[in-house]
Structure 1
Amino acid sequence: MHILLTNDDGLQAPGLQALKKEMARFADQVTVVAPAGQRSAASHSMTINKALYCQELPQTEDHVREISVSGTPVDCVKMAMEYFLSGKHPDLIISGINNGYNLGSDVLYSGTVSAAMEGPYYQVPAMALSMVDMTEDRCRQTAQLAKTLIERIFLCGKFPGILNVNIPEKGDISLSNARVVPQTVQIYHNVIMEKRDLDGSLCYKIVGDIDLTTAPENSDVACIGNGHVALTPLCWRQTATAAMEHIQGCL
């Protein structure tokens, strides 16, 4: 099995490195193509009409290849699929392990999830992994859970799509503690912060405190709030098919 790894926290991020270590023990070939630095909230942006710079690291294991890209997470997957691995696409794309949740409507802004969303475009299944309280031991447990999910869902179950996985701050990181749940709207409080710059001028930051308390019970946000691993299948098609007849009627 050949696995492509990427993320939005950068090539040297602890979550990605923990995932690489576990996947190197599991897969026949691992290719890591990740941003050179932090690219959180990059969403599905691509670098157009601007040069991309790539650097391949010296190999320490024959079956593991690591490449940094100056652009976004989606740039990384494009570079992998259209250039570095154009002759032989991977069997699976994994994006993560992200430092922070990617729940509900936040997947619209997430560089981590957007990288995984590239999978179906190339007819390759994909998984996004996100968590908080990112310690070395919890990263290792999450990477081991990822291996189990690959075996159960992508190999035995032949799942062809995108699986969004979020790990709770408290609760077992295990298959027995996982729940399959839909997305909801992720609510934030105190979204805009007003600040004074060094020269005294007024400026603003988009921040926000995540609210895990008001989500519908059967949802990814509530699942995390209750201490369970949230598994949410996603798709990239955004056509509102139920509304097509209504729009046709209006015309």
Structure 2
Amino acid sequence: MKPNPRILITNDDGVDAPGIKVLEQIAREISDDVWVVAPQTNQSGVGHKFTLGQELEIEQRDQHIFAVNGSPADCIVTGMTHLLKDNPAEIVLSGVNRGQNIADLVNCSGTAAGAREGALQGALGIALSQSMDFSNEHLIEWECSEAYGAQVVQQIIETAEGTETYYNVNFPRCTADEVSGIEVVPHQRFSTSPFEYYPSDNAGKHFVAILETPKPLTPEADCVRLLDHNAITVTPLLLQQTDMTELKRISGAFQFSKVNPNAG
């Protein structure tokens, strides 16, 4: 990749979230051609949602900073195909998310979706999240992200090949000197979905929530390495989701018999 690459930033916590300021600092250690296109409001958990059939608006906050009243995926499309249409970004960074995006949560993460859409648009997509203790939602420290963010992103840039893969990075909740290292790991596949029904105190209402982490956990996967070993985890994820092994296994298993529409 050429020096001083064009970088597009988004997140799912909103354009005013503190994590996106951290990500701007990380990006500016790598390049001075940095653009921000992020949601006007919190879009956590929206996954790869597109706001289809509804008008969107672009609000310019600064020379290279824009807010869109849509999802992270909407923001990347707006940035890559409109605002930067004549010179699209080579790198899309999404985050730094307030809280870890690990295990099967990558499927619903708006942060991961921002990086995924970046890769789908032809850029190198990298999602970054800062781990936190969700039992104390008012406490989150950005020290690890600030200290190691640029180092991790730069190494991904140097080692990545093509754009069929995007990357999910998580920083541990510890001080910078307590970080054990950078580990390339798979994401944890839970034994079942972690989401479940949770009744509200209001009659007839309920939440969908994560009440506990499904067990068992794989020692080598991101959950354990991040939360128990203070490792910065890097997980490469594929855009191609076809199960090639299953495709080969069931090829030829389906027999087609044409239906006669005029038969009784």
TM-score (norm 2): 0.83
Q: CA deviation at 1:172?
A: 4.2
**Structure 1: tracts of 5 or more residues without a match:** 60-64
Query: Tell me, what secondary structure is at the counterpart of 2:205?
Result: strand
Spell out the pairing of 1:72-221 with structure 2 (5 A cutoff): 72-133=71-132, 138-154=141-157, 156-160=158-162, 161-170=165-174, 172=176, 177-186=181-190, 191-197=196-202, 201-211=203-213, 214-221=216-223
AA partner of residue 104 (structure 1):
A
Greater percentage in helix: 1
Q: CA deviation at 1:175?
A: 7.9
Cα distance in 1 for partners of 2:6, 2:67 equals: 19
Q: CA deviation at 1:117?
A: 0.5
Spell out the pairing of 1:41-56 with structure 2 (5 A cutoff): 41-56=45-60
Specify whether residues 173 and 53 from structure 1 end up closer, same or farther in structure 2 by C-alpha distance, changes over 3 A only.
Answer: farther
Cα distance in 1 for partners of 2:118, 2:205 equals: 38
Cα distance in 2 for partners of 1:105, 1:57 equals: 34
Cα distance in 2 for partners of 1:27, 1:212 equals: 40
The residue aligned with 1:248 is: 251
The residue aligned with 1:12 is: 16
Residue 62 (structure 2) pairs with residue 58 (structure 1): yes
Query: Tell me, what secondary structure is at the counterpart of 2:241?
Result: coil
Query: Which whole-Å deviations, capped at 9, do the CAs of 1:69-124 have from their partners, x for residues lacking one?
Result: 00011000000011000100112100000011111111110110011001222221
Spell out the pairing of 1:29-40 with structure 2 (5 A cutoff): 29-40=33-44
Query: Tell me, what secondary structure is at the counterpart of 1:244?
Result: helix
Cα distance in 2 for partners of 1:128, 1:153 equals: 11
Q: CA deviation at 1:17?
A: 1.1
In the alignment, is the contact (CA less than 8 A) between 2:195 and 2:211 conserved in 1? yes
Query: Which whole-Å deviations, capped at 9, do the CAs of 1:122-178 have from their partners, x for residues lacking one?
Result: 221111011233999942541442211232220x32443311011122364788611
TM-score (norm 1): 0.87
**Structure 2: tracts of 5 or more residues without a match:** 255-264
In the alignment, is the contact (CA less than 8 A) between 1:45 and 1:74 conserved in 2? yes
Specify whether residues 170 and 213 from structure 1 end up closer, same or farther in structure 2 by C-alpha distance, changes over 3 A only.
Answer: farther
C-alpha RMSD of matched pairs (Å): 2.5
Q: CA deviation at 1:18?
A: 1.6
Q: CA deviation at 1:210?
A: 4.5
Q: CA deviation at 1:10?
A: 0.1
Aligned residues: 242
In the alignment, is the contact (CA less than 8 A) between 1:142 and 1:173 conserved in 2? no
Moved more, 13-22 or 163-172: 163-172
Cα distance in 2 for partners of 1:51, 1:139 equals: 35
Moved more, 131-140 or 111-120: 131-140
Cα distance in 2 for partners of 1:190, 1:136 equals: 23
AA partner of residue 229 (structure 1):
I
